[in-house]
Amino acid sequence: MNSSEKTTQLMAKAICPFFSLGEKVLDGWEARPIGGDNYMVKRSDGSETIVSVGKETRAGMVVLDKNENLMVGEWTVVVGENIQKGWEAKPARGKGNFWIKQDDGKWNPAKVGDDFLGQGIVSIDKYNNLAIGNSSLKILKKKYELALLVLKGQEKGGFVSYFNYIEPNNSSNRKDGTKGVFYPSRDGKQPSKFCEYGPDGGLYSTAVFWPSKDQTFSCGNIRSLDIAIKEAALFQQIKDFEKEAKELETEPCNIYGYDDAKKELADINSNSWKENRFNVTMGHSLFRLKNNKKMKRLY
């Protein structure tokens, strides 16, 4: 293997899948086919109405989406019967395996053919929903995934990395990733981080990774490059205010704009990050995780 191949060799990989049923899903509503292009729509209050695919209603045109659910205008109505309100299911690795979220917000594993927490046998119904006893659950479909690839090549004191946005059947997948540098935690007290290149060629932190409490997955917080650049500018502005205050032999809070900059920086740090769960499939040590091959993944 030559030096060029070594620097492009994959060293670590972390994936965060995102699931969805569609746009603006109406919880507690369901639709069932009643012949031809007609569907009986049952509202959350129990009332019913008939709609037809291809026909206009007061809420908009009625169509079937790619998940075979009904769309009425901008709203999605799940096709099925006895849909359990507030519950969701999404696929797990392995045939017939799912994760089920009940209305308490907790996810529990389930398998087709097995009993689910004493509530009934898990099966797939005629609408391809997940059934538990006499109730059915909508199954979320994978909409896209974020994939962080860390290579062995080194750059700017870290490892060359790419963040890829991967959608089903998209020919641009893995070809249009965002290049950056991945920095593993050096002391175990600070998070590992992914820094993205800005228009000025500088590196800005757009993702940080902490190990979960049981060290089986990574908690990844992500934000936009624009926000990261704004944070860096505010941080530098605050340092300039403090320098000016020192030269004037006064407190920084007496410098006009200092308090506003501090408040804006605090708001960014509190509200700009979006928390996600990443499954690390390779290079666990870079994320300070256990390499547990028996762990059931969330997708």
Residues 120 and 99: their CA atoms lie apart, in Å, by 15
> Is there a domain that residue 3 lies in?
no
Do 157 and 221 share a domain, yes or no? yes
> Is there a domain that residue 12 lies in?
no
Amino acid at 20: S
> Is there a domain that residue 164 lies in?
yes
Do 168 and 43 share a domain, yes or no? no
User: Distances in Å between the alpha carbon of 106 and those of 65, 89, 103, 125?
Assistant: 28, 11, 8, 23
Please check whether residue 46 is in contact with residue 33, taking contact to mean a CB–CB distance below 8 angstroms. no
Do 247 and 197 share a domain, yes or no? yes
Do 27 and 84 share a domain, yes or no? yes
Residues 289 and 225: their CA atoms lie apart, in Å, by 27
Do 258 and 219 share a domain, yes or no? yes
pLDDT of the residue at 292 = 55
Do 112 and 204 share a domain, yes or no? no
> Is there a domain that residue 181 lies in?
yes
Write down which residue in 110, 142, 174 finishes a domain: 142
Write down which residue in 142, 170, 194 finishes a domain: 142
Amino acid at 173: N
Q: Which residues contact 9 (CB under 8 A, 6 or more apart)?
A: 1, 151, 152
> Is there a domain that residue 293 lies in?
no
Write down which residue in 124, 142, 160 finishes a domain: 142
- Compute the Cα dihedral for 183, 185, 189, 193 and give only its sign: positive
pLDDT of the residue at 204 = 96
pLDDT of the residue at 299 = 43
Chain centroid offset of residue 175 CA: 20
pLDDT of the residue at 174 = 67
> Is there a domain that residue 2 lies in?
no
Do 72 and 155 share a domain, yes or no? no
Q: Tell me the sheet residues that pair with 17.
A: 145
Do 114 and 197 share a domain, yes or no? no
Do 214 and 191 share a domain, yes or no? yes
Do 121 and 149 share a domain, yes or no? no
pLDDT of the residue at 295 = 44
The tally of domains found in the chain comes to 2
**Domain of 235, in residue numbers:** 145-287
pLDDT tens, residue order, the chain (299 aa): 454 555 679 999 999 998 888 889 998 899 999 999 999 999 999 999 999 999 999 899 999 998 889 999 999 999 999 998 888 999 988 899 999 998 888 889 999 999 999 999 999 999 999 999 889 998 998 888 999 999 999 999 999 999 998 877 777 666 668 999 999 988 778 899 999 999 999 999 999 999 988 888 899 999 999 999 999 999 999 999 999 999 999 999 999 999 999 999 999 988 999 999 999 999 998 998 876 554 444 44
DSSP state of 252: G
Do 185 and 277 share a domain, yes or no? yes
> Is there a domain that residue 25 lies in?
yes
Do 166 and 283 share a domain, yes or no? yes
> Is there a domain that residue 114 lies in?
yes
